Amino acid sequence: MLNNLENEADKARSLVHGLEYQLQELGRQINNLSVQVESSSNPAQTSSGLEWSGDICCMICWDVPEGHVMQCTEGHLLCGECFSNPQIDTCPECRVPLDTQIRNRAVERIISQMKASAS
């Protein structure tokens, strides 16, 4: 009877040992996985803010406007030069006529802040 119990206890102990080993093994695998996740979730550096300059380019010359930033009635941006170019009378993106002078001071400010932080 007592022997039986000790046998059972031994079995339980070895079971626990096996589980502990599996747990260690799993922990190692989790560590490996999180290292992989960390190294793969770090693609392009986005430090300067110049990366999003594509959104604030002139729709015609694809430059970041130097001076005034104009826009069509649909909000597409144009630099002052292209906007006042007599050969360009419609927005290249949405084809609305560029007969109303709409200036976008918010974008002008963003551009000047961007340039200040980039230099």
Contact pattern for Zn ion over residues 6 through 45, marking x by CB under 5 A: ----------------------------------------
Integer angstrom CA distances of residue 90 from 8, 27, 93, 94: 87, 62, 9, 8
Contact pattern for Zn ion over residues 57 through 86, marking x by CB under 5 A: -x-xx----------x-x-x--x--x----
Given a contact cutoff of 8 angstroms between Cβ atoms, the answer to whether 106 and 69 are in contact is: no
Min dist. Cβ of residue 100 to Zn ion (A)? 12
Min dist. Cβ of residue 105 to Zn ion (A)? 17
Helix (H, G, I), strand (E, B) or coil at 56: helix
d(CA 110, CA 94) in angstroms, rounded, equals: 24
> Site residues (CB under 5 A) for Zn ion?
58, 60-61, 72, 74, 76, 79, 82, 91, 93-94
